Chains A and B, each alone.
Chain A
Amino acid sequence: MIGLSVSFLLKVIVVLLVILFLFTVYLLFQRRREIRFAETRDTFLQNYSLPWYNYLINDENFSIVLVPRGKAQVAAVEIIFSSYLKNILDEKVEQKIKEFSNLYLKEFYEKDLSSRRWSIRMNALYRIADFKIDELLNACQQFEKSKISEEENFQLLKIYSLFQPELFIEKIKELTVHYSESEYRRLFVLLEDDIFIRLFEDFDSWTKNIQFAAIDTAAVKRNMQYIDQLKQLLTHEVPEIQIRALKGLYEIGVIDEIDPYVPFVTSDMWEVRLMVAKIFKHVPLNYSYTYLEQLLEDENWWVRSQAAKTIAENKEGIAKLQQFMESSNDQYAIEMAQESVVRKQGNK
């Protein structure tokens, strides 16, 4: 039995070694190909970077030499385009890239979409969105019907949001996969205002992640018209949404009335009280001070710390804090006030 095993093992080793040898040869061959590919790509970059600059930036006439031939040259053009898009903000450049890609790169990516390789398809989807190849919208919808991964589906959503927002809203409603908040943010942040605001219309019908992402995106857009939407959410029954809405309003930084926020000072959740202590930064101190003093004596460290910080940031804050230290008998609160005062004075 063992004798058989030895010869068997020997055979296995020989077979494996032969496979590995062939694999090595294949790799070395691949390397040669890669090098040739890189050479062609770099030559194109070398020769046509300047003509591309002249076309994109200096408005020179389009020349047929700019059109890439073969995969390596397409890779070169991709490098040029993404360098411009990543670094330069210019509608004219974007428009030119879009036109060119729709005309000359469309077929490459259409073919890549039907590739067996997931990574090739993903790259194609990236480029369609980056270069705004809207003529491939139909191809994308067709592509959606095949069995696709979550990541591909996400890229498709991004493409729809760019080319056909209506379709995007539709798709996101019937979404079966769940994306992370940060992914939804990436989708929402690019939306036009009128489309984006529709997310708030039917707010409760969305999944949690969409709700959170919508609130955060509203905050980062710093658009006045979202303030009302966020204020309405302050009375939402889910505490997490309340906290997010408070955070969003804090980030927008425009607090026109203090009344809606006062009830939160006595909230059961310390996170809520922390957010209120932050929001009072944007309110004149004489309106907010009584509440802040309350928060300064809060049982939670973070709330106390934030309340002290908020007071100290105000011009009259230091004086108020010193007054407080004399009158209060809450040792923790006094320490916190002390730290804020020292910190503030140290900065001057």
Chain B
Amino acid sequence: MKAFLKYREIWLLAAIVVLIGLISTRFPAFADPGNLRQVFNDTSILMILALGQMVVILTRSIDLSMASNLCFTGMVVAMLNAAHPAIPIPLLIVIALVVGLVLGAINGLLVWRLNIPSIVVTLGTLTIYRGATFVISGGAWVNADKMSPDFIGFQRAAFLGIPVLSWIAILVIALFFILMTRTALGRSIYAIGVNPTASVYAGIDVGRTKFIVFCISGMIGGLSGYLWISRYVIASVEVANGYELNIIAACVIGGISIAGGIGSVGGAVLGALFLGIISNALPVINISPFWQMAISGSAIILAVVLNARGERQQGRIILRKMEAA
């Protein structure tokens, strides 16, 4: 039992249960299974994105370009769909994954081959990818009436009573769980985050692994691009503007250490759910949605204060600085 309580995911889960409890004192229907399923569905895209960001952060890197990748890929598939409605949706999803993969690979190559810090690379590609969206679309929007019914309907179709979007999220969570806990790549990702130098001596190709995590986050960005556009049925340059920081916020609340090496799939999912519950709950308990930003900001600060207490190890910090120099 004591070992059980050491997992920060348990505490986060408890916090979420308390949060739901508090909300249902004001609005009892919120804790309804049907409503909770709706909240899960609403949060699906953020959960998927947080998982993609998690693998990057675990290797002591960061991907600020995910939201721009989402915006660009979303525009690509929306325009493809508008021009050729006959392309089946599964093929479009594959296209979204590939486009996202290419964008992620560009980040990864710059980080791997040129050794530029990832925050600089993705700061650059953040503006480039969003600008490229403007270039391919000419600034025009793709509206709902230009999208095919399949394009919009696919993720809304119910399978076993749950929308396809939620199933996609569940599938992605399962894949990431297997990746992080059952594969050599997953172990390498953790190893690099904990100690890159030791990882090199252990035979891990640090650069190549970083390249792979950026490919993963890119594919996730691309997949989310299709999901986002078909959910909110509008593709424009402004899609998900500034959302990269929400993704990182979900990771931070989920207990993923920005210094790398610490974090889990469960944490990322719960962190995203926490933010999702807040944004879903505010309207029903009659708090202006304008409060949401300040509340999630406070949640981030609180989460990092609580998480830092378990992580403080002076020795590691010295080591990290020496490597950076």
Whether chain B is bound by chain A comes out as no
Chain A residues within 8 Å of B, Cβ to Cβ:
none
